[in-house]
A and B are shown apart, each in its own frame.
Chain A
């Protein structure tokens, strides 16, 4: 375990996390969040857990951040989004994340160049050991997490599927109710008519 590399990555993680919770712009905060996760991955790599570091980069910094970005982009559609996109391309927005990412890349390159010496110093927990433990004593946990992922899949599908028709009917209902309010007596009389009446 390389102490200097660990402290640099830890400092970057803390600074980027602070920046995440203080940014006003969601996209900028997401950039810093991705950097925070990647720096934690570098910490894992330094601690002798390369498998978990790869998982962190792939799942957290890959898929979860992409999910967040999708939602943020869906939430502010419209004309304002194109203006915001123009602002995103200014150097002020991406210069900070770029600097931090460059530092992390240099650190990983340094650790890889050091190679086997660091890996031998920190007791390396290989992916094979993790897999043996995962499917040995933790088999129930694997099954339970598969339950959890399945239920999350079904739940997210249900919530997302319900979303599409609902705003439409809601809007139509609101419009209809305002129309009722505008001509209250006539429509009220009509709507209280029994269903089978002509």
Chain B
């Protein structure tokens, strides 16, 4: 009996020692011992990846004891990997997260930063950017994400191609767009290029850039929530009409014929073969490097009346996982992202910082900002970030076929409507979750 008591005593002491040791090395309290902070991203080789790498290097210089391990995860199943890692608590300290309903979908393993980061740091961030990272899209509820940048879904056009084709003004509605297409075609240019942007596997082009502008052309911002709630059905005649006109871009020869299977559409634009492309700020630097002063931004005029809105939205940023091994350093990194130094690094990578009082030095990015600040266009969120992920998934599959002419607008919209109808009522309420 005595021997058993002795064994139990030794075991208890060992357990206690282990517990004390592990709490001391958890990283949450110590700021001087060597720490490796892990960040996952899905940026591939885009300029966002450059910005993140440079932020990490700058952070390491300030915090000598911290090594930042920036891990590039495959974009195709990034969120699946993140979710699986959260189940086993083997994921990173910080992870790139998309904002809007993507954040809300994954918030179970994201830390609400309210009270974790000083209010003064939050105050430096563009309030419009913080809004879309919080419960019910109300910043007072606390953000889950510190935005990396302000992003635009935007059109890029080649000024030289326009000039040679005799297109003297940038189109602002459907009729002007089709007229410009006709001139560009006649001059031997491909007016619009569509494709999957060089993704390595056979995915189709992402239709939500265009869909955002079709819905901007149709509804004021205050109405967009009704697309989420179903008060405006996807099958509404107005939506079908917009898609129907959009599909004429291909049937009237304004696009390449292989819109579903083309992979080098970015190359077409960079080479000057194609005059227009709908893309985003993450490729601005690539286009300005290839085309110099020839490239400019324009608002895709997918509207019967002159278009009045632009997608200006902080689409992504960094979140701290609930199981982060080094929460102290992770929070320090997030705080660092709100500083002017971080803004300069983000700008240098060709992105638009989401920090108040900072600017962009890329002239094409500045043109985008001017759409809101000088032309007084309404800033809209990305439509795919504010409608249900299931609907986005169905749209990503069905909408490209509408442009291709393989299925009718009404069939595609019926599919979206059906997907939305399958969701429980809690996921299509009159307010965001």
- To the question of whether A and B form a pair in one complex, the answer is no
A: which residues have CB within 8 A of B? Answer: none
